[in-house]
């Protein structure tokens, strides 16, 4: 079942067309990477999903129910972590989650159970005041708050963008663990994070979805290359002169992007008895595909 579906969604602010005919769907119990450069329209799309903005066209379904602008019932199925979550700094993490349970009408016993479970998940047990939390600790508390009412969909807006490598790893591990009980829409511009935890992804550029699919499908779309290291610099120069499609790399290195031409290259090298130290198949990173579809 699809947990989230956007169909032909558009949004304009004055003369600025932010979203143009955006369509994608997120299956249940997956981590879905919503990828794009800063300013691509990701946050606007998420605000439309939350009913905080009205769309100019198209439909949005959460759990099969239509999203309505304003006080939408679908938000009972959603947990939300903004890019910069705010808290009452004088509270402890336990006090804050208790407060969140109270204002959302959760039963006291259920709030206590979920509070302890989530504080263990995010590693924030103790009586430390939030005012002394690092950025990473605040992001982890934000996830605990967003998961408190056991949402079917967790929306995270750029949750790792300002974290150091250790903080990013901690947060990504938490999101990966959350997949068992919820669906995650993970907005980011950090491609390595997408490769690490996402099952599917969509790339938003200039208000349009320019690429989407599972991570395995995207890997098949990547261009592959072959890296060669010659023993002699003059041999590398000879190959560059004979095969203009090769690219130089360092003193003796070559890059062949048309991997299907490798037999032709090897035949030439064999005829002239050129010595090669290394031939290695290179798979391009998701970042290369990302830049390619955006024309950069």
d(CA 112, CA 276): 66
Burial of 133 (0-12, 13-18, 19+ CB in 10 A): middle
What would the two tokens of residue 72 be? 């939408």
> Over its length of 296 residues, how does the chain's per-residue pLDDT go in tens digits?
899 999 999 999 999 999 999 999 999 999 999 998 888 899 999 999 999 999 999 999 999 999 999 889 999 999 999 988 899 999 999 999 999 999 988 999 999 999 999 999 899 988 899 999 998 999 999 999 999 999 999 999 998 887 888 888 988 999 999 988 999 999 988 888 998 899 999 999 989 999 899 988 887 766 667 888 999 999 999 999 999 989 898 888 898 887 788 899 999 999 999 989 988 877 666 766 776 666 65
Are the C-beta atoms of 198 and 190 separated by less than 8 Å?
no
DSSP letter (8 states) at residue 69: S
Is the entire prediction scored with pTM above 0.85? Answer: no
Report residue 95: phi and psi, to 5°: -65, -40
Are the C-beta atoms of 191 and 290 separated by less than 8 Å?
yes
Distances (CA, A) of 127 to 90, 96, 133, 138, 143: 11, 11, 12, 14, 18
User: Residue 115: enclosing H or E segment and its boundaries?
Assistant: helix 108-122
Are the C-beta atoms of 37 and 189 separated by less than 8 Å?
yes
Paired residues of 282 in beta bridges: 225
d(CA 23, CA 15): 22
């Amino acid at each position: 079942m699809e947990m989230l579906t956007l169909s032909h969604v558009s949004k304009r602010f004055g003369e600025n067309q932010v979203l143009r005919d955006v369509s994608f769907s997120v299956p249940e119990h997956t981590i879905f990477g919503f990828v794009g450069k800063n300013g691509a329209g990701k946050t606007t799309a998420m605000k439309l999903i939350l009913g905080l903005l009205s769309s100019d066209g198209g439909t949005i379904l959460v759990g099969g129910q239509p999203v309505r602008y304003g006080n939408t019932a679908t938000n009972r199925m959603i947990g939300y972590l903004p890019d910069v979550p705010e808290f009452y700094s004088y509270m402890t993490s336990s006090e804050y989650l208790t407060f969140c349970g109270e204002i959302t009408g959760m039963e006291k016993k259920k709030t206590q159970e979920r509070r302890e479970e989530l504080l263990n998940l995010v590693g924030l047990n103790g009586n430390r005041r939030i005012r002394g939390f690092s950025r990473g600790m605040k992001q982890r508390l934000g996830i605990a708050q967003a998961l408190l009412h056991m949402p079917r969909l967790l929306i995270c807006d750029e949750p790792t963008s300002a974290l150091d490598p250790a903080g990013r790893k901690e947060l990504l591990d938490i999101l990966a663990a959350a997949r068992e009980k919820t669906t995650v829409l993970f907005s980011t511009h950090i491609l390595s994070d997408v490769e690490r935890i996402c099952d599917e992804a969509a790339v938003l550029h200039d208000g349009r979805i320019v690429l989407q699919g599972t991570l395995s499908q995207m890997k098949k779309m990547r261009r592959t290359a072959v890296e060669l290291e010659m023993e002699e610099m003059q041999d590398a120069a000879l190959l560059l002169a004979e095969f203009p499609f090769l690219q130089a790399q360092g003193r003796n290195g070559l890059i062949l992007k048309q991997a299907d031409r490798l037999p032709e290259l090897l035949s030439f090298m064999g005829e002239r008895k050129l010595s090669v130290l290394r031939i290695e198949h290179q798979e391009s990173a998701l970042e290369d595909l990302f830049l390619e579809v955006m024309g950069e």
